[in-house]
Amino acid sequence: MRIVVLAGGIGGARFLRGLQRAVPDADITVIGNTGDDIHLFGLKVCPDLDTVMYTLGGGINEEQGWGRTDETFHLKEELAAYGVGPEWFGLGDRDFATHIVRTQMLSAGYPLSAVTEALCDRWKPGVRLIPMSDDRVETHVAVEIDGQRKVIHFQEYWVRLRASVPAEAVVPVGAEQAKPAPGVLEALAEADVILFPPSNPVVSIGTILAVPGIREAIADAGVPVVGLSPIISDAPVRGMADKVLAAVGVESTATAVAEHYGSGLLDGWLVDTVDASAVERVEAAGIRCRAVPLMMSDLDTAAQMAREALTLAEEVRES
C-alpha cells in the first residue's frame, strides 16, 4: 500500500511513527512543511523536516518533541557571549551539525529535496521524506505590537512571542511562486491513500496546500483522503493552533477544521471520542466522520489512530 502523508512537526511525526507500527510494510511518502524554515547564524534550519527525521530516526528529544536527544548548548552559549542571538531559538550542538551539513550542500547547489535525502541517509526514517518545495517559502505573521502593525517570521511569533498576541494574518511568503519538489506530485498521483495527520491546519498542512499544484493533485488523485483532528474539546492538544486558526477565520473546533479543508479535499475525518457530537455536522458537510480516541499518549495509541484512519479510508473507497 502506498500512503502519502502531509506533515508538519510534532503532530505529524508522532502520527507517522504510529502509522509505521500499524502498517510496517506500507510504502510511506511524507510531504513535509518548509514554511517554518528560518535562516539563523547563516544556516538554513528546517524545523519540521528535522522533527520528522529525528522522530522516525530515533534521535528526537522525546519530552520536548523537537531537537536532539542528549543535547548540549555550548555553541549557543558561546554565541551569546559574543552578543549574537537570537537567544529565543533553541539550537543545540548536535542539531547544529544537521544545519551545517544542509547549508553546505545547499551552497554547493543541491536542491533541498536532495539535501533532505542525504540527511535521511544517516537517520533512515523508514519513509521517503520530501520537502513540499525546493523553493524558499517562509510563513510570516502580521501582528499589532504597541499599536503598530508588524509582519514577523512565523518562528518569532511562535517561539519568541509564544503566540501571545493575536495573529491578524498568516502569509506563506513565496508559496505562490513555489513549485512542488520533485517527487511530490508523482507520489500523490500514485498514492492508494492520502492522510492529513493531526498537524497544524494553517501553518503546517495549510502551507503545503498553498504550493500551487499540491491541493489540485490531492483533489484529483481519486483515492481516499482522510484527516485526523488536531483539535480536541475545542482546543489544540499541544501548542497554540487556535491563534493561527483565528487568523484565517476558523473556529478552534474539530468540525470547523474539517469544514475548512472541505469536502472537495477531504473524504474522511476522525474526531476524538469527546467530540462525538461533531460527527453529524461533519457528515452533513459531505465528509464521512468517526469518533475515536485521538490522544497520542504513546506509540500504541498513535498506531491505533493510524489503523482507524486506514479503516475509514477503506470505507470511503467502498462507498
Per-residue binding string, ligand GDP, 146-175, x by CB under 6 A, is ------------------------------
Buried b / exposed e along 254-288 (16+ C-beta atoms within 10 A): bbbbbbbbeeebbbbbbbbeebeebbebbeeeebb
Residues near 16 by beta carbon (within 8 Å), at least 6 away in sequence: 5, 7, 28, 30, 52, 55, 56, 127, 197
Give CA separation, 224 vs 42, 202, 212, 267, in Å: 42, 21, 21, 6
With CB under 5 A, what is the number of residues at the site for Ca ion? 4
Residue 237 interface partner, choices ligand GDP, Ca ion, none, CB cut-off 5-8 Å depending on type: ligand GDP
Q: Does 67 bind ligand GDP (CB under 6 A)?
A: no
Smallest separation (angstroms) from ligand GDP to the CB of 250: 12
Smallest separation (angstroms) from Ca ion to the CB of 47: 6
CA-CA distance, 35 to 47, in Å (whole number)? 9
What pairing do the DSSP bridges indicate for beta strands 128-131 and 27-32?
A: parallel
Span from 3-11, 116-124, 146-154, 207-215 in contact with ligand GDP (CB under 6 A): 3-11
CA-CA distance, 179 to 233, in Å (whole number)? 36
Q: Does 204 bind ligand GDP (CB under 6 A)?
A: yes
Which of 236, 244, 275, 303 touches ligand GDP by CB under 6 A? 236
Count other C-beta atoms under 10 Å from residue 49's C-beta.
Answer: 28
Q: Does 209 bind ligand GDP (CB under 6 A)?
A: no
Question: Largest Cα–Cα distance of the chain, in whole Å?
Answer: 63
Which of 193, 296, 303, 316 touches ligand GDP by CB under 6 A? 296
Q: Which cell numbers hold the place of 109?
A: 547547489
Q: Does 227 bind ligand GDP (CB under 6 A)?
A: no
Helix (H, G, I), strand (E, B) or coil at 167: coil
Does 135 carry a binding-site annotation? no
Q: Does 230 bind ligand GDP (CB under 6 A)?
A: yes
Which of 142, 248, 274, 295 touches ligand GDP by CB under 6 A? 295
Binding interface with Ca ion (CB under 5 A): 8-9, 36, 48
Binding site for ligand GDP (CB under 6 A): 7-12, 48, 51, 198-200, 204, 228-230, 232, 236-239, 241, 294-296
